């Protein structure tokens, strides 16, 4: 049957999708989309452009001019704002937080997808909803809690959960778990059940079923989520702003706010700083674009 | 997908216990050794403890604290219950409250009425397998990878009164971030800039999943492109529509970073989230009062979260 109808479909399907000769409508469409795309890129391009020009030149000739090319803004911004230190702070927070989030979320997702307990729907709801609550609505008790929980001095020089990397890692993990549980449990539910039957016949424990059967199969989803979570936790601003006090310990995204004072009158420096902060996310975006986009839509398309 | 056993599938069809006593769920449970049960319990308990301890208990505590007059100093035993007084104070004696609600609603309206339809429109255009579609898509969702705090800085380069591009081009002298009459609009443009790309991405994913035969059937019936979209495609996208609606509401409620980097949510940029933060982190530590504000946010968001969960969990059941 398929051989009989295949050629016919081949002819009719492209007929509706065939690329027509350039019609005026098509041209208008392209012009419109190109204009929108350029408009969308413009603020970012403008920031890059501004960062590459000297303050003196733009101050005398105005920002709408060309010339005064220099890389000095990057050097100055990097030095005065101590970007190296702040990037490192971001690494200390982001890397453990992403790894922990993925590990803990995959554990819960595995149990939800693997076992059919009545409580699983409740569990899934509890995790997913936690990710959607407004952070500010939890701020007051969390702030109090963090200032009351002591940590040994070798873990945090504030000797509190407040103003420590540990506190920020924990709060980020608690918040991001929900999204990952949701995506991973959907992903795991789609894995064939036979796999587990076979694994059980072979006498595999639950842990082995999780670690050696399920996790390797979830690699695409984990990669997509990792990309997304790195971006989100790196970009996280609110918790670091309210749960940190020492300027030296701020991750780079929230340290931006402290930097503005220093750069206040010099937009060329502000733009160089902005570009520096954006670089890690832009690198991830261009290298792992497919993963990033897949991650964003994993949560939506397969609800 | 539909032939795979999902959570509810086992329950919907109970195993014929009398005929095969070892079938279905019972067998699986019995095959779990003691170690396995401990492992399963730990796999759930540790993350659950974290999420309940750092998200749900604080959320509950916020609601409780909103009925007290605690100033954050002194023992918890001294806390006095004042009932709804904080709420009354918030509404009657707190000048920034009304502007904050207005700004939050404005935020929602701007994202919902302008940015969301525009994102959807772009998704429909980009779904047409155009040449160069990838470039257009990339350009549009590039802002989504930037943090909102950073977006505040990037747009400052356009908005700055003396050094900004907008004033230079228009020949105006407006302080776009500073003037309380215009700054909320300036910020909304920046927020919308990011939101459009996100919405476009969600709809593009949704449109890719639409059964092509629907379009073909509509084309055979001679429906115009616009009619096909609104009467055939759009209704099929219902789950995506609900997700977009919820995402938009929650994003407008949670909006914070952008206004905080500009002026900590004062002087025209009041938002509920910023007011809560000001009442706790700053000099003034008005716990009960701030909690009342936070509870308002919590209740509004929970309504939409419930809608969201009902949608996505129903989808997952299919």
Residue holding tokens 């839509």? A297
End-to-end alpha carbon distance in chain B: 9
Q: Please indicate whether, in this complex, the C-beta atoms of B59 and A138 are within 8 angstroms of each other.
A: yes
Average pLDDT for chain A: 85
User: What average pLDDT does the segment B114-132 reach?
Assistant: 91
Nearest CA in chain A to B147: A235
Give the SS3 label for residue A160: strand
Q: Please indicate whether, in this complex, the C-beta atoms of A116 and B193 are within 8 angstroms of each other.
A: no
Q: Tell me the whole-structure pTM to 2 decimals.
A: 0.87
Nearest CA in chain A to B11: A116
Q: Which uninterrupted H or E stretch holds B100?
A: helix B97-109
Could you tell me if B313 and A124 are in contact, meaning their C-beta atoms sit under 8 angstroms apart?
Answer: yes
Give the CA dihedral B106, B111, B114, B116, nearest 10 degrees: -160
pLDDT in tens, A272-302: 989 999 999 999 988 888 888 887 777 664 4
Q: Please indicate whether, in this complex, the C-beta atoms of A136 and B58 are within 8 angstroms of each other.
A: no
How many other CB atoms sit within 10 Å of the CB of residue A138? Answer: 29
Q: Please indicate whether, in this complex, the C-beta atoms of A40 and B193 are within 8 angstroms of each other.
A: yes
CA distance A45 to chain B (A): 10
What pLDDT does B30 receive?
A: 54
Is the pLDDT assigned to residue B285 strictly greater than 80?
no
Euclidean distance between CA atoms B289 and B196, whole angstroms: 35
CB-neighbour burial class of residue A173 (10 A; exposed 0-12, middle 13-18, buried 19+):
buried
CA distance A248 to chain B (A): 18
DSSP string, A9-28: HHHHHHHHH---S--HHHHH
Average pLDDT for chain B: 84
Percent of chain A with pLDDT strictly greater than 90? 48
Could you tell me if A191 and A217 are in contact, meaning their C-beta atoms sit under 8 angstroms apart?
Answer: yes
A24 versus A299: which is more confidently predicted? A24
Contacts of B53 (CB under 8 A, 6+ apart): A174
Question: How far is CA A8 from each of CA A42, A183, B216, B277, rounded to the nearest angstrom?
Answer: 47, 40, 15, 65
What pLDDT does B312 receive?
A: 81
Euclidean distance between CA atoms B244 and A300, whole angstroms: 9
Could you tell me if A235 and A281 are in contact, meaning their C-beta atoms sit under 8 angstroms apart?
Answer: yes
What was the ipTM of the complex prediction?
0.85
Euclidean distance between CA atoms B110 and B223, whole angstroms: 32
Is the pLDDT assigned to residue B131 strictly greater than 90?
no
Phi, psi of B130 (to 5 degrees): -80, 160
CA distance A5 to chain B (A): 16
Euclidean distance between CA atoms B158 and B137, whole angstroms: 23
User: What average pLDDT does the segment B192-203 reach?
Assistant: 93
The lowest-confidence range among A109-118, B48-57, B100-109 is A109-118
Interface of B with A in 81-110 (CB under 8 A): none
Euclidean distance between CA atoms A106 and A113, whole angstroms: 10
CA distance A154 to chain B (A): 23
* Beta-carbon contacts below 8 Å between A and B: 313
CA distance A41 to chain B (A): 6
pLDDT in tens, A228-237: 999 999 999 9
Residue of B52, B125, B261 with shortest CB distance to A33: B125
Interface of B with A in 108-147 (CB under 8 A): 122, 125-126, 128-130, 132, 135-136, 138-147
What pLDDT does A184 receive?
A: 93
Nearest CA in chain A to B145: A281
What pLDDT does B313 receive?
A: 79
Contacts of A58 (CB under 8 A, 6+ apart): A50, A65, A68, A267, A268, B163
Residue of A142, A177, A190 with shortest CB distance to B4: A190
Give the SS3 label for residue A278: helix
B121 versus A117: which is more confidently predicted? B121
Mutating which of A37, A44, A136 best tests the B interface, going by the most B Cβ atoms within 10 A? Answer: A136
B238 interfacial to chain A (CB closer than 8 Å):
no
Is the pLDDT assigned to residue A90 strictly greater than 90?
yes
Residue of B48, B55, B197 with shortest CB distance to A175: B55
Tokens linked to B144: 């989504």
pLDDT in tens, B76-114: 677 788 888 889 988 998 999 999 999 999 999 999 999
pLDDT in tens, B146-195: 999 999 989 988 998 888 889 888 988 888 998 999 999 999 999 999 99
Mutating which of A42, A138, A205, A277 best tests the B interface, going by the most B Cβ atoms within 10 A? Answer: A138
Contacts of A138 (CB under 8 A, 6+ apart): B54, B55, B58, B59, B62, B294
Mutating which of B35, B140, B149, B200 best tests the A interface, going by the most A Cβ atoms within 10 A? Answer: B149
CB-neighbour burial class of residue B250 (10 A; exposed 0-12, middle 13-18, buried 19+):
buried
What pLDDT does A260 receive?
A: 66
CA distance A8 to chain B (A): 15
What pLDDT does B54 receive?
A: 95
């Amino acid at each position: 049957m398929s051989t009989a109808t295949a050629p016919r479909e081949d002819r009719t399907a492209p007929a509706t999708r065939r690329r027509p000769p350039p019609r005026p409508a098509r041209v208008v469409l392209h012009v419109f989309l190109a204009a929108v795309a350029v408009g969308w890129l413009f603020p970012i391009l403008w920031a890059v452009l501004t960062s590459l020009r000297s303050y003196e030149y733009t101050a005398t000739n105005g920002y709408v001019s060309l010339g005064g090319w220099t890389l000095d803004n990057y050097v100055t911004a990097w030095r005065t704002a101590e970007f190296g230190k702040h990037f490192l702070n971001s690494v200390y927070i982001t890397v453990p937080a992403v790894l922990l989030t993925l590990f803990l979320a995959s554990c819960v997702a595995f149990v939800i997808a693997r076992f059919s307990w009545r409580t699983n729907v409740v569990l899934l709801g509890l995790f997913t909803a936690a990710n959607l609550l407004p952070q500010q609505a939890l701020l007051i008790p969390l702030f109090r809690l963090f200032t009351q929980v002591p940590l040994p001095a070798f873990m945090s020089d504030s000797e509190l959960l407040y103003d420590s990397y540990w506190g920020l890692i924990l709060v980020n993990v608690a918040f991001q778990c929900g999204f990952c549980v949701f995506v991973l449990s959907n992903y795991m539910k789609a894995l064939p059940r036979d796999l587990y039957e076979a694994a059980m016949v072979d006498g595999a424990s639950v842990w082995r079923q999780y670690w050696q059967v399920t996790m390797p199969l979830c690699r695409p989803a984990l990669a997509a989520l990792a990309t997304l979570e790195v971006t989100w936790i790196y970009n996280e601003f609110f918790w670091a702003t309210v749960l940190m006090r020492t300027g030296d310990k701020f991750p780079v995204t929230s340290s931006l706010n402290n930097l503005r004072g220093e750069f206040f009158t010099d937009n060329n420096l502000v733009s160089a700083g902005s570009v520096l902060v954006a670089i890690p996310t832009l690198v991830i975006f261009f290298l792992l674009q497919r993963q990033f986009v897949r991650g964003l839509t994993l949560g939506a398309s397969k609800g | 997908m539909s032939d795979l056993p999902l959570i509810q599938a086992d329950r919907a069809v109970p195993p014929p216990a009398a005929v095969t006593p070892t079938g279905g769920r019972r067998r699986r449970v019995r095959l779990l050794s003691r170690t396995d049960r401990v492992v399963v319990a730990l796999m759930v308990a540790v993350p659950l403890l974290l999420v309940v301890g750092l998200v749900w208990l604080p959320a509950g505590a916020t609601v409780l604290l909103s009925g007290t007059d605690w100033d954050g100093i002194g023992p918890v035993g001294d806390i006095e219950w004042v009932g709804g007084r904080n709420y009354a104070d918030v509404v009657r004696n707190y000048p920034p409250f009304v502007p904050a609600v207005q700004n939050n609603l404005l935020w929602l309206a701007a994202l919902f009425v302008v940015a969301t339809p525009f994102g959807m429109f772009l998704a429909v255009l980009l779904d047409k397998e155009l040449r160069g579609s990838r470039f257009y898509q990339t350009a549009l969702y590039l802002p989504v990878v930037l943090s909102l705090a950073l977006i505040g800085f990037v747009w400052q380069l356009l908005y700055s009164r003396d050094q900004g591009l907008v004033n230079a081009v228009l020949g105006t002298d407006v302080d776009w971030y500073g003037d309380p009459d215009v700054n909320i609009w300036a910020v909304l443009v920046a927020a919308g800039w990011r939101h459009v790309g996100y919405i476009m991405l969600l709809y593009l994913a949704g449109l890719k999943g639409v059964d092509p035969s629907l379009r073909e059937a509509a084309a055979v019936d001679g429906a115009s492109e616009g009619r096909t979209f609104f009467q055939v495609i759009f209704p099929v996208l219902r789950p995506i529509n609900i997700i977009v609606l919820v995402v938009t509401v929650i994003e407008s409620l949670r909006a914070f970073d952008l206004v905080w980097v500009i002026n900590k949510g004062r002087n025209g940029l009041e938002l509920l989230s910023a007011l809560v933060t000001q009442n706790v982190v700053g000099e003034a530590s008005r716990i009960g009062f701030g909690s009342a504000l936070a509870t308002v946010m919590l209740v509004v968001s929970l309504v939409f979260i419930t809608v969201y969960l009902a949608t996505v969990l129903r989808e997952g059941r299919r």
